[in-house]
Amino acid sequence: MSCRAALVAFRTGAGPTGWGALPVFAPGGAADHACAAADAEREAGHVVAPAPERIFAALSLAPLESVRAVILGQDPYPTPGHANGLAFSYVGPPPLPRSLVNIFRERQSDLGLAPPADGDLTPWARQGVLLLNTALTVREGASKAGSHLLLGWGAVTDALIAAVSATRPHVVFILWGKPAQTKRLLVDEGRHHVLESPHPSPLSASRGFFGSRPFSHANTWLERQGEAPIRW
């Protein structure tokens, strides 16, 4: 399957409302252009992650009408076998990606919850947590992080964030790292709440990610709006 084929399947399955109604997913729209660029990478012999059928997994698991929180990172894990379409999530044998280890470390410090047995964040997504990256694909391999940031995904994720901001009543936007924080201007902070910190990567976690308490801060704000807390 190609990215373009996965996009057609997603476009059909998303239906006439929610994500599927956004112009970004219309034929010839920004998503088509980003997928064409990702497919060109594959055709040139590069291994692209995640697998095509998982590129839009975050949107499928958290429909627009259900979104209550957005966790925004940079791009998928470039380590072979790690990316699965949900930002920071990992399904596989130990060890977990180091960014995810740091997320669970902060969760434990913040909420007193022991690290889970695996790294699958699907339960968060099913509660309306949109686990999104600023780019939806990446080249696999060492030192390939950020390799697809300029392939056109920025226009896609801009449209997704703007749609959440415009249509949802109360959303917490958790922006981890500088690429994610550039999206802050797309959020109507009169209606929504933004939490920023450095990326949980080992390169930056000690510069302010640890101790940021995003999970308790998000739930406190949601409850003040009359919303149910998220079971992190």
Query: What own/partner pairs with CB < 8 Å and gap ≥ 24 does 116-125 have?
Result: 118/90, 118/91, 119/89, 119/90, 119/91, 119/92, 120/89, 120/90, 120/91, 121/86, 121/88, 121/89, 122/61, 122/86, 122/89, 123/231, 124/71, 124/230, 124/232, 125/58, 125/61, 125/62, 125/86, 125/89
- The active-site residue, picked from 32, 75, 118, 188, is 75
Phi, psi of 42, rounded to the nearest 5 degrees? -60, -45
Active site residue 75: yes
User: Rounded to whole angstroms, how far apart are CA atoms 181 and 169?
Assistant: 21
Q: Which sequence positions are flagged as catalytic? A: 75
